[in-house]
Structure 1
Amino acid sequence: MKRFWVTWGERYLYRPSFVQKILSWLLLPLSGLYCLIAYLRYRRTTPKTFPIPIVSVGNLTVGGSGKTPVVIELAKRFEKSAIVLRGYGRRSRGMVVVKDKATILCDVVQSGDEAMLYAHSLSNTTVIVSEIRERGIAEAASMGCEVVFLDDGYGKHSIQKLDLVIDVATPNRFCLPSGPYREKLWSGKKAVHLREGETFSRRVTIIDPTEKMVLVTAIARPERLDPFLSDVIEKVYFEDHHFFTQGELEGILERTGATSLLVTQKDLVKIAPFNLSVSVMDLSLELDEALISLVKDYVHAAQN
């Protein structure tokens, strides 16, 4: 039942049916109130400067936008970088250092899937999860990091930073609850827009493909994977950040007769301990050189 409502909600926000559009219009007064509160919160906040440059990669809407691979590609280009994120879906609270420069210090249950993906993908980057991002930033600075990449930080208006915002295409331009927007790009708020096909491009290859693969994934808006999929015998979607059990995955393999589970790298960090037959959608990202130069210039200027 939960899976049904997650799918229904994603369709409502991004590809609404006629009935869902009517519901969206009926909720517009609430959306107007929501937007007003978000705007007033922005206007009443004064950004605080930290002793370390901060670059935020995020989006204005709920749901996935592909920010994780963008953060990974940018963090690779700095020797003493840190990534700070909330750690959605983790079963821990407070600030947790997931990885120092060399060592992973906790498991995926404590870190959450995105943080663990960062930890496995980046050999020289510190990874910290914290509901209070300021605490994570301060910890990164105390650990000797020289730049922080803030995962999903556009709405953290109290933090002085460079905002990179990934544009997500949607015909629904309303704020919650009528549409997917958590915030708008407020007047006076500077941000660099990233667009797939312009600022970055993706290439996906399948590692260890088998003859009969079943797609199993727990990411937001899983239809984003469709352009990169090879033939699969079925698609099984779970809610974003879902922690799989070995039994449910074995059940999917048995029910479908699949020879392997096709998963994303984000899913893999939760599935790997089960020792099941797995094929992986390996994503590589190419960033525009102008974006890389812009980020490096910002970081170097803030350090001087």
Structure 2
Amino acid sequence: MPHKPPSWWFPSGRDDSFFARALHPLGLLYGELVKLRWRAQTPYCSSLPVICIGNFVAGGAGKTPLAIAVANRLKDWGETPYFLSRGYGGRNSGPHFVQPDQDLAADVGDEPLLLARHAPTVIAHDRKAGALFIEQQSATIIVMDDGFQNPSLAKDLSLIAVDSQQGLGNKKIIPAGPLRAPLAFQREKADAIIVLGDHSQNALRRLADAMTGLPVISGRIVPHGDTEWLSGSKIIAFAGIGRPEKFFTTLRELDAEIASAHAFPDHHVYSDDDATRLLTLAAEMELPLVTTEKDWVRMLGRTGPVGALRDQTRTVAIEITLEQASENQLDQLIKNALRAKKAA
């Protein structure tokens, strides 16, 4: 189910939350269980190279746009990448070939619908089964969107997306904090950190624990496509993503005036009541509705008020940009992983 992270996971100041302290022993236990799961399982080694785009913490960090950027790079080199996703929030356990113009987010999840607009996409709750399915297709490489902590499928390259503002939160393990496993344990299995956002010295110092001993690549999530229509426009904005306020900030940076902002939990399934409230507000204020591509695809195939909301809402697309030095560094990491796979 969609949810909003507890406030103590990402405190604005010093972490002294009673809940974080009280849940810390459970977090330590959860971390040990994660390590036991890894030790108890022998990962499947695919015949295809596997690049995993993951993160150390629960929640959004830019994994999906980063996965798309990597796949686009691979296509430029003549490769045929296939995305492999769990299909979070979808009922279909797979393996299933995502049809972006036919499938619903309720069946395959919202992120796979975005991925499938850039490269063939397979969802599978069982990552090994998904890899085996992809091996029977025309793919030359598998790009995993998430699944870094899943031990069932061996990875040839693991790139970790880190939001520079959100960082590692209180650096405690679920449920006390956002870490999906002990940090040192995760670092051992990572190959590089992709820091997305602010690259000031203060921001990088906050991420020192995550970056220790790993190559660090700097990138930014920026608007993509035509955004001129937003400049000087008064709008109603809504978003159900990991950090809705980040989307609202992006709109303001594009010189849009947000008359009303509505934040929903990540992967939020819009109800008829949600849609009716937003449509009514837009009609009363005589203002356009704006949301993210991820929210928009979640409304595909819906009828009634939600379908009307989709039809009356415009979107702002995003993409990952890298400076030339960071782009060269990422290219080298990927090429080294592909060469090592072929030599194995």
Q: TM-score range by the shorter chain?
A: 0.7 to 0.9
Contact residue 263 and residue 278 of structure 1 kept, 8 A: yes
For residues 178-217 of structure 1, give each alpha carbon's deviation from its aligned partner in whole angstroms, at most 9, with x where no partner exists.
1111112417434311112442122225474383312211
Contact residue 21 and residue 176 of structure 2 kept, 8 A: yes
Query: Could you tell me how far 1:227 is from its partner in structure 2?
Result: 3.5
Structure 2 counterpart of 1:29, from 25, 28, 33: 25
CA distance in 2, matches of 1:191, 1:153: 15
- Is 1:46 the counterpart of 2:74 in the alignment? no
Structure 2 counterpart of 1:58, from 43, 54, 57: 54
**Closer/same/farther in 2, CA of residues 159 and 91 from structure 1, 3 Å limit:** closer
Structure 2 counterpart of 1:113, from 110, 131, 143: 110
CA distance in 1, matches of 2:188, 2:13: 35
RMSD of Structure 2 on Structure 1 (CA): 2.7
**Closer/same/farther in 2, CA of residues 282 and 188 from structure 1, 3 Å limit:** closer
CA distance in 2, matches of 1:105, 1:137: 23
- Is 1:261 the counterpart of 2:265 in the alignment? no
Partner of 1:218: 240
Structure 2 counterpart of 1:180, from 173, 178, 181: 178
**Closer/same/farther in 2, CA of residues 303 and 270 from structure 1, 3 Å limit:** same
Query: Superposition pairs for residues 1-304 of structure 1, below 5 Å?
Result: 6-7=3-4, 9-15=5-11, 21-78=17-74, 79-99=79-99, 106-120=103-117, 122=118, 125-161=119-155, 162-168=157-163, 169-183=167-181, 184-186=183-185, 188-196=188-196, 197=199, 198-204=217-223, 206=227, 208-209=229-230, 211-230=233-252, 231-245=257-271, 248-255=274-281, 257=285, 259-271=287-299, 273-274=307-308, 276-287=311-322, 288-289=326-327, 290-304=329-343
**Closer/same/farther in 2, CA of residues 207 and 72 from structure 1, 3 Å limit:** farther
* Aligned amino acid, residue 159 of structure 2: L
Displacement over 6 Å in runs of 4+: 16-20
**Closer/same/farther in 2, CA of residues 212 and 188 from structure 1, 3 Å limit:** closer
CA distance in 1, matches of 2:266, 2:190: 29
Contact residue 214 and residue 258 of structure 1 kept, 8 A: no
> Gaps spanning 5+ residues in structure 2: where?
200-216, 301-306
CA distance in 1, matches of 2:233, 2:58: 35
CA distance in 2, matches of 1:24, 1:200: 31
Greater relative contact order (Cα < 8 A, sep 6+): 1
CA distance in 2, matches of 1:301, 1:207: 45
For residues 219-259 of structure 1, give each alpha carbon's deviation from its aligned partner in whole angstroms, at most 9, with x where no partner exists.
12323324312221122122221222455324213235252
> Gaps spanning 5+ residues in structure 1: where?
none
* Aligned amino acid, residue 221 of structure 1: R
Partner of 2:304: none
CA distance in 2, matches of 1:258, 1:95: 45
* Aligned amino acid, residue 23 of structure 1: F
Contact residue 51 and residue 141 of structure 1 kept, 8 A: yes
Q: TM-score, length-normalised on structure 2?
A: 0.77
Most deviating of 130-139 and 186-195: 186-195
Contact residue 53 and residue 146 of structure 1 kept, 8 A: yes
Q: Secondary structure at the match of 2:321?
A: strand
Q: Secondary structure at the match of 1:149?
A: strand
**Closer/same/farther in 2, CA of residues 238 and 227 from structure 1, 3 Å limit:** closer
CA distance in 2, matches of 1:208, 1:90: 34
Most deviating of 266-275 and 142-151: 266-275
CA distance in 2, matches of 1:34, 1:258: 50
Aligned pairs, how many?
294
Most deviating of 75-84 and 241-250: 241-250
Contact residue 10 and residue 221 of structure 1 kept, 8 A: no
Q: TM-score, length-normalised on structure 1?
A: 0.86
What is the percentage of aligned positions where both structures have the same residue?
24
